[in-house]
Amino acid sequence: MESINIDIESFSSVDLSKCGVYRYASSPDFDILLFGYSVDGGDVHVVDLCQGEEIPADIVAALSDDSVIKWSYNNNFERVCLSNYFGTWFEPENWRCTMVWAAYLGLPRSLEDVGAVLGLEKQKLSEGKELIRYFCVPCKQTKANGGRTRNLPEHDREKWERFKAYNLRDVEAEMQIQQRLAKFPVPDFVWEEYRQDQEINDRGIGVDMDMVRNAIAIDGRSKAELSAAMKELTGLENPNSVQQMKQWLSENGVETDSLDKKAVAELMKDAEEPLRKVLALRQQLAKSSVKKYQAMENAVCADSRAHGMFAFYGANRTGRFSGRIIQLQNLYKNTMPDLAQARELVRCGDFEALEILYDSVPEVLSELIRTAFVPQDGRKFIVADFSAIEARVLAWIAGERWRLKVFEGGGDIYCASASQMFHVPVEKHGVNGHLRQKGKIAELALGYGGSVGALISMGALEMGLAEEELQPLVSAWRDSNPCITEFWWAVDRAVKECIKMRAGTETHGIRFDYQGGMLFITLFSGRRLAYVKPRIGENQFGGESVTYMGVGGTKKWERLESYGPKFVENIVQAVSRDILCYAMRTLRNCSIVAHVHDEVIIEADRKMSLPTVCEQMGRTPPWAKGLRLRADGYECDFYQKD
């Protein structure tokens, strides 16, 4: 036996979508109903565990045998569920995920969607969702069903047989996907990265549940008081209703199309009392970030840790990770100077003190979200992140020497950029310091071909820049970065030539190949980015553009358009991701509990040295000679933004 393909169907009263598989599979009523499998690509068998059948002993033994590769679609689900079912933890060694394979090749992450895109002969059965609702989640108690809370095979024999056929078909579909993708295997080092991702998800990150529960209670009380104050001021039955609030504002001389955060902030600038007070209350009531506390309560397991927070290859255009359940990638930033004091008040549930000391309780709760993550067993957090990683990688690949010298000398890239653009010295809080902000906004918006629209989207007008300044700012940045600008269009030419000629091209050390209806971009690490069915099309301006099939903003499989600077963005972000993965491998003996963008969070022994961790993290990978990296960090007893 060399490999097994596995697919299971299971029951739990815990909501998988809200709580994640670790909490789902550790529920007391968790059970595996069906176990579908195939050995070495042979016939598919379905073991009906719900009706007393048993998984063959050699298959059970293979689950913990590192010489046997275990394949499944969304492998983390099968591995965690089977670990809980058998009461023995299956380490991720040689557990492989067909979903990751599909994502590596630029395909959708959904089994049903991959089957449709590949035109499989045996696709996932569409009736599966209805069968899963019937057998895999609790049912509503009714007189007709005798008050039961769960549907079993005897309650509908015909449905149960269809459910078994559905399980069998899933295994067949997964095997067909592997056969279709066999020409383009995932490199072994990417599977190593996947294994480490699984280890981090298994380890989980500690959550201070006393703080979380009190934060939820305080939020409930705060919302009740804010709603009561709003009702008193407006006389509205439901001041949370957008329609009712718009009508009330209109009756009071204020017209608005939106009540989102930005629109309300604009209205508040000119509003007089009591309108200003009503709008301020509206902003506080609309705080959605406090929902993160509820997500923590849903996800945390018996060990007071939240597990499974990261999706490997969640962003398949670059291979970067994405967040799940609590979504650590978009936590509210903390800027409070007295963070520890505010945190302790919330942890103790002292609502009155919070109201006295702070203008907005919802704002305090938002700022404290990060601090709910805590190290356990007397340890500390070491948080280390790369300094300006994307800017460094972009300058290194493009060969923009003046930028590389700034990084080598430990300079401020925003000041240096402003100095280069305006031909005067710029120092933070010093000579021509007012120009640093223009350098910063240009750096953030213009590195990947952005123009005036990108500056506006990045908040240039809100930062005080005049609209007539924007185009000169774009021109100044591009003039001062000729190598980066040339890099955009060199990539554009290389991609187009590769697709037209269906032959390999190369620029700036990056390889472009057309194989089997796919465009592949080979990065310095050896990892490849994949674009499905690339074509040369026409853009909105009548010029040439590159199009390919991918999952767009609507989450649908559709034809997408790209061009040189956008490909450069993918390349730079992908290389930055590879550097993070290299750093995590070098730090593998540390207990990494989370990673956010270019940041790593380690649960460390009190004796562990912060400088040593930063030095290790800042080492340049062997495939990136000449790239100067720097990692900075800090220690804390609860997670925070330094």
Does residue 106 sit in the same domain as residue 218?
no
Does residue 314 sit in the same domain as residue 224?
yes
A 10 A CB-CB count for 614 gives 18
CB 348 within 8 A of CB 569: no
Distance CA 218, CA 109 (A): 38
Does residue 162 sit in the same domain as residue 245?
no
Q: How is residue 190 written in tokens?
A: 């990417």
3-class DSSP assignment, residue 541: coil
Closest C-alpha among 21, 24, 23, 22 to residue 12: 24
Does residue 153 sit in the same domain as residue 213?
no
Does residue 175 sit in the same domain as residue 228?
no
Q: Look at residue 492 and tell me if it is in a domain.
A: no
At 602 the pLDDT is 98
Q: Look at residue 567 and tell me if it is in a domain.
A: no
E runs forming strands in 325-429? 380-386
Distance CA 221, CA 303 (A): 29
pTM: 0.92
| Final residue in a domain of this structure, among 275, 309, 330 | 330
| Final residue in a domain of this structure, among 313, 330, 347 | 330
At 289 the pLDDT is 67
Tokens 């069998």 appear where?
A: 168
Closest C-alpha among 477, 449, 452, 447 to residue 467: 452
3-class DSSP assignment, residue 48: strand
Q: How is residue 461 written in tokens?
A: 């007008």
- Note down the domain range covering 476: 401-480
A 10 A CB-CB count for 454 gives 19
Does residue 447 sit in the same domain as residue 405?
yes
Total structural domains in the chain? 3
| Helix, strand, coil % in the chain, rounded to nearest 5 | 50, 15, 35
Single-letter amino acid, residue 270: D
Q: Write the burial class of residue 28 (CB in 10 Å: 0-12 exposed, 13-18 middle, 19+ buried).
A: exposed
Distance CA 526, CA 177 (A): 23
- DSSP at 329: G
Distance CA 114, CA 181 (A): 11
CATH of the domain at 128: 3.30.420.10
Distance CA 192, CA 93 (A): 9
Q: How is residue 388 written in tokens?
A: 């300006």
Single-letter amino acid, residue 21: V
Does residue 213 sit in the same domain as residue 175?
no
Q: Look at residue 599 and tell me if it is in a domain.
A: no
Distance CA 264, CA 325 (A): 29
Does residue 128 sit in the same domain as residue 228?
no
At 122 the pLDDT is 78
Dump the DSSP string for 429-451: TSTTGGGHHHHHHHHHHHTTS--
Residues of the chain with pLDDT under 70: 288-289
Does residue 24 sit in the same domain as residue 126?
yes
At 642 the pLDDT is 81
Closest C-alpha among 165, 131, 164, 145 to residue 51: 164
| Final residue in a domain of this structure, among 455, 480, 505 | 480
